[in-house]
Homo-oligomer: A and B are copies of this chain.
Amino acid sequence: MPYPSQISRETVLEKALDLLEIGGVENLSLNKLAAELGVKAPSLYRYFNSKAELLKAINMATVESLVETMRSAAVGEDPVETAQAMTRAYREFAKKHPASYSLAFGTLPEEMQPDHMYMEALALPLQAVMSKIVGHEDSLPMLRGVWALVHGFVMLEISEQFRRGGSVDEAFEKAVRSYIHGWKQGRADGAARPRSHQNSASRRSG
């Protein structure tokens, strides 16, 4: 090997994650990142073809970490308890790594999104637990709801939208519990509700 390598794909990724969590995504520039690594910005292109590719790699690492976190939280006997433990672990992860979580799961251009497999790896363990609660048939829609609930909750928390006092922890616990119990009980209902189709006002705030 010629020229003693100062950086590698891994060291770049690690330092990028550090900078990301410190200053948010808008403070993660290739200049700063390179400077932190004792190198100039163009050198990073030996390891990543673009900044987008770097961010995608970061996001995949984030999803992997989150999957691992949830996996290790899925230990209980009672599936309802297990589901709560997993969602709790999910929330703790997101609050511990707010910048990288927001980056990975926020709205971002297709090219920076983790591959589908990574997202499925995230979804499947939780869906398995849903399956135990409401059966295989309903497990997908139930998964979507619980994921939405947890994701929405932590996103609102991260952007500090819960400013009106009261225990946010308890609100989270109760929300998840209510959702699960509501679904279990609701399987008896069955009757489809009417869906409104046309909404008036062609332009906003008519």
Contacts and interface: CB of A to CB of B under 8 A. Distances in A.
Interface of A: 24, 26, 61, 64-65, 68-69, 72, 84-85, 88-89, 92, 97-98, 102, 105-109, 113, 116, 119, 140-142, 144-145, 147-153, 155-156, 158-159, 161-164, 166-175, 177-183, 185-186, 189, 193, 195-196, 199-201, 204-206
Given A61-B204, A148-B149, A179-B182, 15 more contacts: A65-B205, A68-B206, A84-B193, A89-B199, A107-B155, A108-B159, A140-B164, A145-B171, A145-B175, A147-B152, A151-B156, A155-B155, A178-B179, A178-B183, A181-B182
A45 B100 CA distance: 33
B107 A159 contact: yes
Contacts of A64: 205
A113 B158 CA distance: 13
Nearest to A92: B199
Given A97-B204, A175-B179, A186-B178, A153 B152 contact: yes
20 contacts: A64-B205, A72-B201, A85-B196, A92-B199, A106-B155, A106-B159, A107-B158, A113-B159, A116-B163, A140-B164, A142-B175, A144-B156, A144-B162, A145-B149, A145-B171, A148-B155, A175-B179, A178-B182, A181-B186, A182-B183
